[in-house]
Structure 1
C-alpha cells in the first residue's frame, strides 16, 4: 500500500468485520496486517469484539496478542454479554 493511501485511511474511523478464517492462527495474516495499517499502525486503538464465538475470551486474547505482535500498542477486548450492555452507557474496554 502506498504511503499516501495509508495517510488517507487515517482520516477516517474504520470498522472491519472478520469471519473466523482470516488466518489469525498465523501472525502473518495479510488481512490483519492491512487492517493495522488502515487503523494507523502502531498508534492505532483497536477494540476486539468477538460476540459470535463460543470461546470469546480465548479469541479476544488471541487477537489482542496478534495485534500487539503487529506493533499495535492499544488493543483490548470489549465483552458485551447482554442486550442491555450493548444499548447502555459507553462500556469499558479494560
Structure 2
C-alpha cells in the first residue's frame, strides 16, 4: 500500500473526503517526525512505538573494492510493533 492508497482507505473507512484524509495523514506524519526529530518517542498502544537511537561512527568496507571506509555516526528511527499488530500479522 502506498500513500495515495492509504489516503483512499482512510477516506472510505472514516466517511470523509480524500482531501480531509490527506490532511489528517500529513498531520500525523508531521507530528511523528517532529517528535522524533526532538529526540522524543511516539507510542500508539496496540500498534507500536517509534524512537530514535544513535549509531556510533564505525569502519566499514566498500564491497566493490574492499577498501576500508569511515562511516559517520548518525541517528536512526526504530519501530517496535505492539502486541495487537504482531498478533494480527501472525494470525492464521
Same topology, TM > 0.5:
no
TM-score, scaled to structure 2: 0.24
**Quick check: which has more Rg, 1 or 2?**
2
Higher RCO (C-alpha under 8 Å, 6+ residues apart)? 1
TM-score, scaled to structure 1: 0.23
More strand by share: 2
